[in-house]
Chains A and B, each alone.
Chain A
Amino acid sequence: MIDRNQLRNIDWGLIGLLILNAAIGIAFIYSSSHYLPGNYALKQFFWFLAALAGLFVLLSINYRVLVAYSLYFYTVAIIILASVLLFGRLTAGTKSWIVLPFFQIQPSEITKILVILVLAHIFSSYTKSSLSLGHGLLSILVVGVPILLVGLQPDLGTALTYLPILLAVFVVVGLKKRTVIVLVILALLLGVLGWSVFLKQYQKERITTLLSPGKDPLGAGYQTIQSKIAIGSGGFLGKGFKKGTQSQLRFLPARHTDFIFSVIGEEFGFVGVVGTFLLYFLFLARLFQSVSKARDREGVFITYMVSVMIAFQFFVNVSMTIGLFPIAGVPLPLISYGGSSLIANFLAISLVINVRMRRFVNV
């Protein structure tokens, strides 16, 4: 399993950055929820411990083995997603949760990792320099099925986070110009169709209020406005830990989950935001650099897809809090409260480390 060499090759730097980001998360979860019942910070700490344990457990399994068996895991995950949809209980308006005796998990988060593994599997032996129609459709299918199931829950935010995985595949395999054009047209068509058929009224409102949040300050624009007020009123140095009026007085919605970045912005100001950016950039850079350390196609695909997925979520979340993107329910990876998301991201990064630490091993 793991020998001494491999242990030495574990990317401790990346793990360090991971822990640092998670610690920041726990701190701001505490700041934005200490006055609420539920001990969110403590819970997140336990999730963090579980995620870290999961990360090391997963490291012990060679990623190639995981890739080889990925289709089975994937199939099981799809069945779980479908049954959640069929038998799941509505929680906060969606059927995205599996309620266990002591905690709830969102299978849609973990499924993302399996999608990545399956795609790595499919493309491990693909040697053409650009994407063929068959493989293109196959990868759309692999990503599309969970998107559809998650989208029906309806959890549009999580469904959205599947898209960068597909995008990463397209980029890394390479597309002909013609394919790009076809895809753009297809995306536009889907967009129009999605807008008129699939999106619910509140989702449409979220998008329209993005363009003019002031139009309906107490309705759909409320969250965006309160979030911008929180960040803007933080100024250069911020109002201080636990002193953000927007979050402490609950003007800010979803403070410890989707809008935790606004809490950072309010309480630690521009300095805090730029600090978070720097830390995150180091973290993402480390992830992207891992692509260069991969010694096979599986490794490349895994590391690249994980990197793009996390970067995408990060940018969507931050853009959302400052009113540049519709409020989509995408958490800030590693920082926002939420066990499923935290574990999923830790496991995804575990795969990256897995690839990296086995770069010298030729098994």
Chain B
Amino acid sequence: MKKEKKIYEDLTPFQVKAQITLIFVAFLFLFLTFFLWKVQILDYTKYWRQSEANRIREIILPPQRGLIKDRNGEILATNVASFQVAIIRENSRDIDRSYQRIAQLLDLELPVLQERIDKYRFLPEFQPIVIKDNLELKEVSQVKARQEEFPELVIQAGPRRKYLYQTLAAHVIGYLQEISQIEIGESGRNRRLGDLVGKTGIEREYEHLLVGKEGRILEIVDSLGRRRGEISRVDPVPGQNIDLTLDFALQSKAEELLEGKEGAVVVLDPRTGEILALASFPTFDPNKFISRFSPEEWLTLLKDPEFPLENRAIRGLYAPGSIFKLTMALGALDSRVVNEWKTFYCTGSTRIYGHPFSCWFKGGHGSVNLSNAIKHSCNIYFYQVGKLMGIQEIAKYARMLGLGALTGIDLPGEKAGLVPDPEWKRRVRNEPWYPGETISVSIGQGPIQVTPLQMAAQTALIANRGTGIVPYLFRKNLTERKEAAHVDIQETVFEKVITGMWRSVNENGTGRAAMVQGLDVCGKTGSTQVVSTATAEKLGEDKKIVRTHSWFSGFAPKDDPEIVITILVEYGGMGGATAAPLAKEIFRLYRENHDR
């Protein structure tokens, strides 16, 4: 030691200070203990929940959607593996910077990405939001390789819908799109935003069967979103397959025939109501709507003036034209306004109620009875019949034969059409019914509107001699199927009308172009004026709108009918010239396939 020190220096004051400090320390310990008591005991549940929420991630396993097949098992709609990338906002430390970097990584436009996420901003932070789907493998590996840098991104694999024949039966099958907020509310099922649901067609009608049940995995993740283990797993239940009544060959043929036209074809089996083909043209490729990110294509189609998305077969409303003469004939015979021998004289034109009315055949048909009137589609005959029946009777028989009401086909969006009568006119237009309108309606013109499917169903009813059908597409859906009523008209009345239809096709009538060797085809053509004759003359022949809609509806064979074909071609010209030859092609194909 360098210097002398007092050994017994009084250090008591220091010792006291140390004791006081220790007491202070003890109090600090007590305080912290109480604080920890609050955190660990009183608030335990709250923190425990937070720690669980931190570490558990729910992964939804989408179920395989049911396949859609034709009547012979040909797969029309299937599922293929697909990858999508989703963002979990919770895992991002700086969300705005994340968006920029992700947009760059995935080659997305920043505003598009932000809009996308904005749409789902109210979802919990931990729920993945799909930001790009149908990834290419290159993109998948790109994201995977940089997972450490992008803990907020997850790759999800899942089935994706694929329509194997692109446009084939597109209107029947329908397509999927992202579920809307309203649909989530309506579904009552456990659906959430981002799910794809059937928006039209069979995809929508049988959504509940097709969709299956989703599975889920609860897994443990770390703070970087990396998987560390699994808590539970419920496997998804695949959706039910839908076997359609469609016949691939007939459907293909129908669409092939409509190519380049606007129109619809309905082919059905009158014995059961099975739809064998249901085509509408122009059409679309539903594969293009499945992506969440190219709505432009869909919007373009929505805005297309030719309405390719519309299913004309069930939603297109047209005046039935001369096909309505079958309805008239049945009504007139049944109500005994005329019998089959009653004749009217056709000079090509006539005056009724002071207005001129003309036959399509300017030269006139001469003296015509019912059978000839149907065969030649004589207007004058049915003007007279209509005048005798009156609008109320006409409307009654039209409704009895299924017009003005839904056929009940298992497709969404079917339209009922319109059977006009004075009551309707008063209600909708607040005008009285003019007698001249009755004359127009007698040949299927004027305000009367039908769908091609209704015409097919009525043709089936005629073919069945009074037994109606409810057309359907899903073969196994027997329990839900409605029984169509048998109309209270004598079978002999049907035979008389059918004779006229047979003669129309086979005895050089207006339907002769539908004649098929070896198949007793019965049919009726129709040509519907879209604009009045006067307007047509003003516009001239070259305008498309001047041309009539072209109808054919018929069945075969005459006895024990097996097939009904209804064809509508918009602005197709005369029914006998445009629609009937198309029907012939389909009848012929049907015959070939059944002779084999």
Chain A residues in contact with chain B, CB under 8 A? 64, 68, 125, 171-172, 174, 218-219, 226, 228-236, 245-246, 249-251, 265, 269-270, 273-274, 277, 280-281, 284-285, 288-289, 291-292, 294-297, 300, 303-304, 307-308, 311, 315, 318-319, 322, 324, 362-363
Residues of B within 8 A of A322 (CB): 32, 35-36, 39
Q: For the complex, is B208 an interface residue (Cβ under 8 Å from A)?
A: no
Could you tell me the distance between the alpha carbons of A273 and B92 in the complex, rounded to whole angstroms? Answer: 32
16 additional A-B residue pairs with CB within 8 Å, beyond A250-B222, A281-B29: A125-B3, A228-B39, A229-B51, A232-B43, A232-B48, A245-B51, A245-B220, A249-B54, A265-B36, A269-B40, A273-B33, A284-B25, A285-B22, A292-B18, A304-B14, A307-B18
Smallest CB-CB separation from A127: which chain B residue?
A: B9
Smallest CB-CB separation from B32: which chain A residue?
A: A318
Could you tell me the distance between the alpha carbons of A251 and B228 in the complex, rounded to whole angstroms? Answer: 13
Is the beta-carbon distance between B22 and A277 smaller than 8 angstroms?
A: no
Is the beta-carbon distance between B223 and A249 smaller than 8 angstroms?
A: yes
Residues of B within 8 A of A318 (CB): 32
Of A218, A270, A277, A292, the contact of B41 (CB 8 Å cutoff): A270
Could you tell me the distance between the alpha carbons of A250 and B50 in the complex, rounded to whole angstroms? Answer: 14
Is the beta-carbon distance between B55 and A249 smaller than 8 angstroms?
A: yes
Of A236, A250, A307, A308, the contact of B40 (CB 8 Å cutoff): A236
Residues of B within 8 A of A300 (CB): 11, 14-15
User: With A64-B1, A318-B32 as given contacts, are A249 and B221 in contact (CB-CB < 8 Å)?
Assistant: yes
Residues of A within 8 A of B5 (CB): 296
Chain B residues in contact with chain A, CB under 8 A? 1-3, 5, 7, 9, 11, 13-15, 17-19, 21-22, 25-26, 28-29, 32-33, 35-37, 39-41, 43-44, 46-48, 50-52, 54-55, 92-94, 220-224, 228
Number of A-B residue pairs, CB cutoff 8 Å, is 140
Is the beta-carbon distance between B40 and A304 smaller than 8 angstroms?
A: no
Nearest CB of A to B38, in Å = 9
24 contacts between A and B (CB under 8 A): A64-B1, A68-B2, A218-B92, A231-B36, A232-B43, A232-B47, A232-B48, A232-B51, A233-B51, A235-B41, A235-B44, A246-B55, A251-B51, A251-B222, A281-B29, A288-B25, A291-B15, A292-B18, A295-B11, A296-B9, A297-B11, A300-B15, A307-B21, A322-B36
Most chain A beta carbons < 10 A, residue from B39, B93, B94, B224: B39
Is the beta-carbon distance between A172 and B14 smaller than 8 angstroms?
A: yes
Residues of A within 8 A of B40 (CB): 231-232, 234-236, 265, 269-270, 273
Is the beta-carbon distance between A270 and B54 smaller than 8 angstroms?
A: no
Is the beta-carbon distance between B2 and A315 smaller than 8 angstroms?
A: no
The A interface, classified by DSSP as helix, strand, loop or mixed, is: helix
User: With A288-B21, A294-B11, A322-B36 as given contacts, are A251 and B223 in contact (CB-CB < 8 Å)?
Assistant: yes
Of A125, A288, A294, the contact of B19 (CB 8 Å cutoff): A288
Residues of B within 8 A of A285 (CB): 22, 25
Is the beta-carbon distance between A232 and B39 smaller than 8 angstroms?
A: yes
Is the beta-carbon distance between A246 and B41 smaller than 8 angstroms?
A: no
Smallest CB-CB separation from B39: which chain A residue?
A: A232
User: With A229-B47, A246-B54, A249-B220 as given contacts, are A273 and B17 in contact (CB-CB < 8 Å)?
Assistant: no
Residues of A within 8 A of B22 (CB): 284-285, 288-289
Residues of B within 8 A of A226 (CB): 54
Could you tell me the distance between the alpha carbons of A130 and B222 in the complex, rounded to whole angstroms? Answer: 56
Residues of B within 8 A of A251 (CB): 51, 54-55, 222-223
Smallest CB-CB separation from A278: which chain B residue?
A: B29
Could you tell me the distance between the alpha carbons of A64 and B7 in the complex, rounded to whole angstroms? Answer: 14
Is the beta-carbon distance between B18 and A246 smaller than 8 angstroms?
A: no
Is the beta-carbon distance between B21 and A171 smaller than 8 angstroms?
A: yes
Could you tell me the distance between the alpha carbons of A292 and B14 in the complex, rounded to whole angstroms? Answer: 8
The B interface, classified by DSSP as helix, strand, loop or mixed, is: helix
Smallest CB-CB separation from B24: which chain A residue?
A: A311
User: With A232-B46, A245-B55 as given contacts, are A277 and B9 in contact (CB-CB < 8 Å)?
Assistant: no
Is the beta-carbon distance between B223 and A315 smaller than 8 angstroms?
A: no
Is the beta-carbon distance between B222 and A281 smaller than 8 angstroms?
A: no
Is the beta-carbon distance between A277 and B223 smaller than 8 angstroms?
A: no
Could you tell me the distance between the alpha carbons of A129 and B47 in the complex, rounded to whole angstroms? Answer: 51
Is the beta-carbon distance between B93 and A304 smaller than 8 angstroms?
A: no
Residues of B within 8 A of A363 (CB): 1
Could you tell me the distance between the alpha carbons of A246 and B47 in the complex, rounded to whole angstroms? Answer: 11
Is the beta-carbon distance between A277 and B48 smaller than 8 angstroms?
A: no
Residues of A within 8 A of B32 (CB): 277, 315, 318-319, 322
Smallest CB-CB separation from B22: which chain A residue?
A: A288
Residues of A within 8 A of B19 (CB): 288, 292
Residues of B within 8 A of A172 (CB): 14, 17
Could you tell me the distance between the alpha carbons of A315 and B35 in the complex, rounded to whole angstroms? Answer: 13
Is the beta-carbon distance between A235 and B48 smaller than 8 angstroms?
A: yes
Residues of B within 8 A of A245 (CB): 51-52, 54-55, 220
Nearest CB of A to B392, in Å = 75
Residues of B within 8 A of A230 (CB): 51
Nearest CB of B to A170, in Å = 11
Could you tell me the distance between the alpha carbons of A288 and B30 in the complex, rounded to whole angstroms? Answer: 17
Residues of A within 8 A of B228 (CB): 249
Residues of B within 8 A of A246 (CB): 51, 54-55
Could you tell me the distance between the alpha carbons of A250 and B92 in the complex, rounded to whole angstroms? Answer: 15
Could you tell me the distance between the alpha carbons of A249 and B51 in the complex, rounded to whole angstroms? Answer: 10
User: With A229-B54, A232-B46, A251-B55 as given contacts, are A270 and B221 in contact (CB-CB < 8 Å)?
Assistant: no
Smallest CB-CB separation from A232: which chain B residue?
A: B47
Residues of B within 8 A of A307 (CB): 18, 21
Could you tell me the distance between the alpha carbons of A172 and B14 in the complex, rounded to whole angstroms? Answer: 6
Is the beta-carbon distance between A362 and B47 smaller than 8 angstroms?
A: no
Could you tell me the distance between the alpha carbons of A250 and B2 in the complex, rounded to whole angstroms? Answer: 56
Nearest CB of B to A34, in Å = 14
Residues of A within 8 A of B94 (CB): 218
Could you tell me the distance between the alpha carbons of A270 and B223 in the complex, rounded to whole angstroms? Answer: 25
Is the beta-carbon distance between B44 and A232 smaller than 8 angstroms?
A: yes
Could you tell me the distance between the alpha carbons of A285 and B29 in the complex, rounded to whole angstroms? Answer: 12
Residues of B within 8 A of A291 (CB): 14-15, 18
Smallest CB-CB separation from A62: which chain B residue?
A: B1
Residues of B within 8 A of A311 (CB): 21, 25, 28
Nearest CB of A to B34, in Å = 11
Residues of B within 8 A of A281 (CB): 25-26, 29
